[in-house]
Amino acid sequence: MKTIIIANQKGGSGKSTLVTHLAVAAERAGDGPVVLTDTDPQGTTADWFNARAAQTPGYAPTTMETLPETIRALDDAGAAWLFVDTAPALHAQNVDLLRLADLVIVPLCASPNDVRALARMLPLLSAAHRPFVFILTRVNPQAKLTIQTVMALSEHGPVLQPPLRERVAYPTAMIDGRTVQEIEPGGAASSEIAELWQNVKRRFTEKTERLKGEPT
């Protein structure tokens, strides 16, 4: 099982939207079984799941303290992917949480405030020694600031494409536990999420191929 932790110290970065949408995209792509969990006391992802009618992805209740046990149990049960939502307040003692990830995804809005807040997150990512990527959310593709943000982030790590554009469909879908792929299956947002999931998954494929090519 691969564990993907979505984390950012700054609130409002789109963590829960990204967790739920990537999890559903993975199931729709045939990459399940997929499980969600939520270590954020606010419980946005948990509330989304409770409002959801569909049976997949699954949900496993946990806390930051019990997450290691949850990961082991889900792995033993045959889950393929686990997506973990986190609280916006990550501190140095939470480096252990990031160390549980096979990949850490850091969502950010294309704003100076989000880039400045990243300065507090980068030392934690460095200390965790886990692969990480950035994903831009709530993006206006025509804004000059978007390009500047991508350039700034690229100095610290990979920025996965495509960004999630500012679309009404995302908050609308979250209301009743769905995603844009389910409310607008032929829409631009649906294609956006499907492509993003393939690029997230490719991070694991590329790593495997690199390891195969290394001399023994």
Q: What is the CATH number of the domain that holds 62?
A: 3.40.50.300
pLDDT band at 61 (very low <50, low <70, confident <90, very high): very high
- Cα–Cα distance measured from residue 138 to residue 85, given in angstroms and rounded to the nearest whole number: 18
* In the chain, % of residues over pLDDT 70: 93
pLDDT band at 205 (very low <50, low <70, confident <90, very high): confident
% the chain with pLDDT above 90: 69
Q: What is the DSSP letter of 139?
A: B
Largest CA distance in the chain: 51
Domain that holds residue 209: 2-213
User: Confidence class of residue 216 from pLDDT cuts 50, 70 and 90?
Assistant: very low
Q: Which residue has the higher pLDDT, 150 or 189?
A: 189
For the segment 16-45, the average pLDDT, to the nearest whole number, is: 96
Confidence class of residue 167 from pLDDT cuts 50, 70 and 90? very high
Local confidence band at 92 (pLDDT 50, 70, 90 cut-offs): low
Average pLDDT over residues 118-139: 92
Q: What's the mean pLDDT when you consider all of the chain?
A: 90
The pLDDT of residue 158 is 93
Query: What is the pLDDT, as a whole number, of residue 207?
Result: 60
Question: How many whole angstroms separate alpha carbon 128 and alpha carbon 138?
Answer: 27
Show the 3-state SS of 25-49: HHHHCCCCCEEEEECCCCCHHHHHH
**How many domains is the chain partitioned into structurally?**
1
pLDDT of residue 189 exceeding 50, the answer is yes
Q: What is the pLDDT of residue 162?
A: 94
Look at residue 211 and tell me whether its pLDDT is greater than 50. Answer: no
